Amino acid sequence: MKKIFVLAALCAAMQGAVAQDGKQVVQDGIVVKPLKDGLVRNILAPEEQINQQSAQQYTSLMGQAREKGALVPSDDPQVKRLRAIAQRIIPQTARWNPKAKQWNWQVNLLKSDQVNAFCMPGGRIAFFTGIIDKLKLTDDEIAAVMGHEIAHALREHGRERQSKATGTSLITGIGGAVLSAWSGYDVRGVANAAGQMVVLKFSRDEEREADLVGLDIAARAGYDPRAGIALWNKMAALDERGAPIELLSTHPGGANRIEQIQDHMNVLLPLYARAKGTSVERLPAYRTNLAAR
Ligand SMILES: [Zn+2]
């Protein structure tokens, strides 16, 4: 009985390893590259310092949000939903950065119209109600956003820029600006004076990596990676209608973002099928709610 099961699982895995175009896929998911970790990088942006600063800023941001009534309470169904998704994704992260096992993961929801979300170094995550509501995100699509944001933190993207941004903000000492460095979000609800606003903008290369690593993690956690395509389509549809999308200003993906994700479905879908205990061929067609139009 056990043997038959193993054989069936093996067959499923092998089927899953053959892409739709017939090409054999040998790697397990998206290829893991070593983290950049040179001496110069460590001097420019010491990890401990970044970690400490991000802990302070996150705590401060959540504290200010609570004072303003903008922190959605823990017993809210949307907060519970976000945390449940995170609980499934987090065990998949150490593959991309072993230090993630020691991270003090936190997940919060902020009441704000902004279409935005972020994950600060050390696993400090926040979603804005705007992104969930305006894009009518499904669980799979929330996992795609969360995976993407977590991937930036795991891959230590913009580490030198992070250090510079936090450094500058600490010098100006403006509460809102400090927080804006990470999130682009001003809890005080007033416009920052130009120059005090330091927004961390990721590069196109970092975006490409975060898209793929994020969906790899989400797929391993049992979330459909095809949600990545639905997500960016919804984002584009909202953008076409002229609605402001804060996330796009810090995450410049460019026009071929969806194409790139599509091109990697042959390695992403087998991860998802495996997590679901089935084969790629047996996966039902992806259905989003298409509510963003
Ligand atoms: Zn990004």
Ligand 1 center from residue 251 Cα (angstroms): 4
Per-residue model confidence as pLDDT tens digits over 57-74: 888 888 888 888 899 999
User: Higher-confidence residue: 101 or 34?
Assistant: 101
Q: Are 142 and 85 in contact (CB under 8 A)?
A: yes
Q: What is the model's pLDDT at position 86?
A: 98
Average pLDDT, the chain: 80
Ligand 1 center from residue 107 Cα (angstroms): 18
Q: Which residues, at least 6 apart from 16, have a Cβ–Cβ distance to it below 8 Å? A: 269, 270, 273, 274, 279, 280
User: Higher-confidence residue: 22 or 69?
Assistant: 69
The percent of residues above 70 in pLDDT, for the chain, comes to 73
- For residue 240, indicate whether it is catalytic: no
User: Higher-confidence residue: 52 or 220?
Assistant: 220
Catalytic choice (47, 48, 141, 149): 149
Per-residue model confidence as pLDDT tens digits over 168-200: 444 333 344 444 444 555 444 433 333 333 457
Q: What is the model's pLDDT at position 290?
A: 67
User: Higher-confidence residue: 166 or 16?
Assistant: 166
Per-residue model confidence as pLDDT tens digits over 107-140: 999 998 889 999 988 999 999 999 999 999 999 9
Ligand 1 center from residue 161 Cα (angstroms): 14
CA distance 205 to 74: 35
Q: Are 210 and 192 in contact (CB under 8 A)?
A: no
With bands split at pLDDT 50, 70 and 90, how would you rate the model's confidence at 218?
very high
Quick one: which of 139, 152, 165 has its CA closest to 202? 152
CA distance 261 to 77: 30
Per-residue model confidence as pLDDT tens digits over 229-251: 999 999 999 999 999 888 888 88
Ligand 1 center from residue 231 Cα (angstroms): 13
With bands split at pLDDT 50, 70 and 90, how would you rate the model's confidence at 38?
low
Quick one: which of 257, 182, 245 has its CA closest to 214? 257
Ligand 1 center from residue 245 Cα (angstroms): 13
